[in-house]
Amino acid sequence: MKCLIDADGSIISNDAWHPVQDKGDKGDTGDTGDKEAPTPPIQNYSLISLDAWQEIQQQQADIFTQHKNIGLHLSGNLTTSELLEKLGPADQAQQLLNNFSLLQIEITEFKDGRCFSLAMRLRNRLNYKGELRASGNYLPDQIYFMRRCGFNSFIIDTKMDEPTLLQTLKPFTEVYQRSGDNASPVTDKPSR
């Protein structure tokens, strides 16, 4: 079962976002020609890759005035400095990031923690305010920690039934380390 879950643990049945095929991606057409595909059309609720964004922003400087809801699909193994380098001058990157309504981070390996660091930096250092979505290869029991780092929606592919999946979202009542949610660790609380 593949489903979209928000930070409150509710399943979202209708996801408005649709991925835009990258320029070099021929998809399922079977086309093996060397012709370069045209720039993909962008509309509201388009989810585009970082590479496609770099091409599109050069051609359509006013894209955010034309479309209010554009999402950016990022690799989970991308570092913050690599992201900023691809987005342009650092002083403009923060403002540019907040023009995106959605940042979707694709996690390639559930044991790779870089997505947690990227989420924390997007929220705390770059002050990203929009939806931060996790997708890809991660475990349902990691959602609790992802929420603490700043993710607020999750696409998960699991064999769990819906009640079991929703139960995994609320496993802890206390935290043991500091994180992006500013919850006080149990070690900061007075002993009883």
Tell me the three state secondary structure of residue 104: strand
At 27 the pLDDT is 47
What is the reported pLDDT for 32?
46
Burial 95-122 (b: 16+ CB within 10 A, else e): ebbeebbbbbbbbeeeeeebbbebbbbb
The residue segments making up the domain with residue 129 are: 2-23+40-188
In a domain, 47, yes or no: yes
Task: Specify if 97 maps to a domain.
Answer: yes
Q: Is 29 a member of any domain? A: no
Tell me, yes or no, whether 104 lies in a domain.
yes
Give the pLDDT confidence score for residue 41 in this predicted structure. Answer: 73
What local confidence, expressed as pLDDT, does residue 60 receive?
65
Q: What is the pLDDT of residue 105?
A: 95
The number of angstroms, rounded, from the C-alpha of 188 to the middle of its chain's C-alpha atoms is 31
The candidate with the shortest Cα–Cα distance to 96, out of 127, 134, 133, 139, is 127
The DSSP bridge pattern shows strands 131-136 and 102-107 to be: parallel
Report yes or no on 110 lying in a domain: yes
Name the token pair of 155.
Answer: 């696409």
- The pLDDT assigned to 165 comes to 76
CA distance 192 to 190: 6
Q: Measured between alpha carbons, how far is 185 from 174 in angstroms, rounded to an integer?
A: 7
Would 84 be classed as within a structural domain?
yes
- Chunked mean pLDDT (size 10), the chain, 192 residues: 81 88 54 53 87 77 77 90 83 85 91 88 91 90 86 86 76 69 74 68
Kindly state the helix (H) or strand (E) to which residue 151 belongs, with its residue range: none
Would you say residue 30 lies in a domain?
Answer: no
For the chain, the domain total comes to 1
If one counts every other C-beta atom within 10 angstroms of the C-beta of residue 144, the result is: 14
